[in-house]
Amino acid sequence: MKLTISRRIGTFAGDRRMVLLLILAACLLAGRAWLAAHPQHDPWAPLDLRHPVGWATEAKLRALRDDVRACRAVLERSDIAHEVLEPAGEGACRREDRTRLGDFPLSPTIPPVTCPAAIALLLWERDVLDPAARRIFDSKIAEIEHLGAYSCRRLYGRDEDHWSEHATANALDIAGFVLEDGTRINVMRDWRGEGDEGRFLREVRDGACGSFATVLSPDYNAAHADHFHLDMSARWRGVCR
């Protein structure tokens, strides 16, 4: 009698282990299937800009900053129209990575920037600018007015200081926006305004910090009273102000 009971307990414990293993295996399979359906959360899935931003996106974007080939592969994979230009410049202003987006509402021209900066611009336009323009103004973005990307100079044009991210076109200065309905939004004029324009500007400045490493606005200092400075500096999550 005693022997039968202990045998039964033994079998019961074995069954329980088996059930736990089965549950674990089912969870792993479900997890893998879920990641396959949500590649934006999968750290091993190659980055594709057609996917929404997910938990794994920032780490993947970060890795691209030191890897031009991988960055260009992302543009190819994501079917983004772009042009790869010959390197140019000398010394601290040598630009090995000159990538020009093919179809993008930058105005008056689409300047070549680094590939990571191009990707940050794409994400900012798609996930921040366009949704904010539709929500606040019920219109699409027609033009993003910029003041330039490349400028061979040190910070604030000083003789001795760190080189500006503009020296390698790893940055872009944005002065305003034009919407499809003709509305003009200007950083200098509208930044402190109480109206929709001011609200739009402050919202898209905050949103730029999700894809760019550094975001400087009129809140930062007087030198940025008329534009947003956006760059992909090596230190990730630098200033966002």
Chain contacts with Zn ion (rule: CB under 5 A): 171, 173, 229
Task: Yes or no: say if 219 and 226 are a contact pair by the CB < 8 Å rule.
Answer: no
Ranked by CB distance to Zn ion, the top (closest) residue is 229
Residues 212 and 230 sit within 8 Å (Cβ to Cβ): yes
Helix (H) or strand (E) holding 123: helix 115-124
Nearer to Zn ion, 100 or 229 (CB): 229
**Closest CB to Zn ion among residues 80, 171:** 171
Taking the complex as a whole, the smallest distance from the CB of residue 171 to Zn ion amounts, in Å, to: 5
Please state, in angstroms and rounded to a whole number, the distance separating the CA atoms of residues 228 and 241.
10
Output the smallest distance, CB 89 to Zn ion, in A: 17
Nearest distance, CB of residue 239 and Zn ion, angstroms: 12
Q: Please, what is the minimum distance in Å from the beta carbon of residue 229 to Zn ion?
A: 3
Closest approach, Cβ 55 to Zn ion, in A, equals: 30
Tell me whether residue 150 or residue 200 sits nearer to Zn ion (CB atom): 150
Q: How far is the CB of 230 from Zn ion (least distance, A)?
A: 8
Our CB check for Zn ion shows the closer of 74 and 129 to be 129
CA distance 215 to 235: 12
Contacts of 44 (CB under 8 A, 6+ apart): none
C-beta closer to Zn ion: residue 69 or 235:
235
Q: What is the 3-state secondary structure (H, E, C) of 191-209?
A: CCCCCHHHHHHHHHHHHHC
Distances (CA, A) of 109 to 11, 87, 95, 216: 75, 19, 19, 22
DSSP state of 126: I
Rank residues 110 and 113 by Cβ distance to Zn ion and give the closer one: 113
